[in-house]
Amino acid sequence: MSAGEALLRVEDLKVEFPTEDGVVHAVDGISYQVQAGKTLGIVGESGSGKTVSSLTTLGLTRRQGARVSGRILFEGRDLVSLPEDQLRAIRGNEIAMIFQDPLSALHPLYRVGKQLVEAVRAHRAVSKAKARERAVELLGLVGIPDPAKRVDAYPHEFSGGMRQRAMIAMALANEPKLLIADEPTTALDVTVQAQILALMERLQRELGMAILIITHDLGVVAEMADDIAVMYAGRIVETGSAESIFAKPQHPYTWGLLRSIPRLDSPRDEELVPIFGTPPSLISPPSGCHFHPRCPYAQPEHARIDPQLEPLGDEPSHFVACLLEADVRSRLWSELGAGGTPEEALAEAGLKAAEGSVQTAADGLPPGADA
């Protein structure tokens, strides 16, 4: 990540939820930055803490009884300790958010226009008529045809893609400096997904806002992100520029995510490789490296030692938290990147297979991961 004062700087953020079964460590000490006008992609499976971290940015986990520590600096103000009314003045104004399912995220009983007007008038002292003009303008901006008429439609009268466009219009109402997009395309058809991503890119160019995009889909961040942070079990396990991560991915979990994306240029007989096992419990996470129970390359000592994010020797802005040696990782990935199986990669790197994980893969048990 480049220097300079970042628009949003998250430092050692921890979010915990006390429950009857124990404390859920949803976010376990993460740090990242979003530069003004740039895009950061946070990637991870469901339950990796990526949504909780972004909701916490807006203070939306407060009423769920979350215990938050660390700092979230937005233009120098710490959002973690900011009083609720000051935070409310930032929400939807300087930082806006869009969500995964635009049908449930819009109020079913209010006209789309009214919901947009509300967003405008929450932060601007303008008349209803003025706010309505703005609503029509916003709907036009996000590419909804005939906005002067559609402004009076109800959400159920919109298609999925139109609803997400309306959500984006609502988020843009006060020209935010930062847009947080939580799985913005997951609930949409594939063709519509591309349209929404293109729309967000266009709006970013035109309005100069920063985007924090949260997704489980590396394909989405490949399109959008300048920087990428990969999250696993409440922690960031790898982070760097999008270029560097796609060129030289370092973490076995990132490899797993990359190899589970269908690709047009891969040989036809090559199978998609799922990540075996299920995401770990966030109440009592695994010892040592949290990924070791699912990692085909884990060595016995990885169950004891907790890896820290460290920069790569030749790429100081690319960090990884992995206990494997750097040259071992590069040999493993060169074999995997060429289409090899984990077993072949292990043989190539001269490592012994981890107990359990590779056997699980060989037994062909159904994968529990949804990445």
Partner 1 sequence: MTGYVIRRLLWGLALLIIVCGLIFVVFRILPTGNPAVLRAGRDPQPKLIKEIERVLGLNKSLPTQFWDYLKNVFLHFNFGYSYYNQESVVSLIKERLPATASLTIGAAVVWMIAGLSVGIISALKQRTFLDRFSMGGALVAISAPEFWLGLITLLLFASDIGKFKIFPGAGSYVGITQDPWKWFTSLILPWCVLAAGSAAIFARLMRGQLIEAMGEDYIRTARAKGLKERRVLRQGVRASINPIVTLLALEIGVLLGGAVLIEYVFNIPGIGLLAYHSIVQSDFEVIEGTVLLASMFIILANILADIGYAYLDPRVRYS
Task: Report the run of H or E that residue 39 belongs to, with start and end.
Answer: strand 39-43
Instruction: Round to the nearest angstrom and report the end-to-end CA distance of the chain.
Output: 25
Residues 6+ away with beta carbon under 8 Å from 159: none
What residues are paired with 42 via a beta bridge? 214, 229
Residues 129 to 188: which contact partner 1 by CB under 8 A?
154, 156, 167, 170, 173
Tell me the helix, strand and coil percentages in the chain, rounded to 5: 35, 20, 45
User: Mask of contacts with partner 1, 83-102, x by CB under 8 A?
Assistant: -----xxxxxx--xx-x-x-
Q: Does 218 bind partner 1 (CB under 8 A)?
A: no
Q: What distance in Å separates the CA atoms of residue 243 and residue 246, rounded to the nearest whole number?
A: 5
Q: Does 105 bind partner 1 (CB under 8 A)?
A: yes
Nearer to partner 1, 9 or 91 (CB): 91
Nearer to partner 1, 173 or 196 (CB): 173
Residue 104 C-beta: closest distance to partner 1, Å:
4
Q: Does 109 bind partner 1 (CB under 8 A)?
A: yes
Nearer to partner 1, 162 or 351 (CB): 162
Nearest CA among 58, 152, 55 for reference residue 112: 152
What residues are paired with 353 via a beta bridge? none
Full 3-state SS string of 119-147: HHHCCCCCCHHHHHHHHHHHHHHCCCCCH
Nearer to partner 1, 65 or 316 (CB): 65
Nearer to partner 1, 1 or 27 (CB): 27
Binding test (CB under 8 A) with partner 1, winner from 123, 137, 309, 337: 123
Q: Does 246 bind partner 1 (CB under 8 A)?
A: no
Q: What distance in Å separates the CA atoms of residue 123 and residue 118, rounded to the nearest whole number?
A: 9
Q: Does 107 bind partner 1 (CB under 8 A)?
A: yes
Q: Does 192 bind partner 1 (CB under 8 A)?
A: no
Residue 58 C-beta: closest distance to partner 1, Å:
6
Residues 43 to 82: which contact partner 1 by CB under 8 A?
55, 58, 60
Full 3-state SS string of 40-108: EEEECCCCCCHHHHHHHHCCCCHHHCCEEEEEEEECCEECCCCCHHHHHHHECCCEEEECCCHHHHCCC
Stretch that binds partner 1, among 115-123, 138-146, 197-205, 271-279 (CB under 8 A): 115-123
Binding test (CB under 8 A) with partner 1, winner from 122, 126, 192, 194: 122
Tell me which residues touch partner 1 (CB under 8 A): 55, 58, 60, 88-93, 96-97, 99, 101, 104-110, 118-119, 122-123, 154, 156, 167, 170, 173
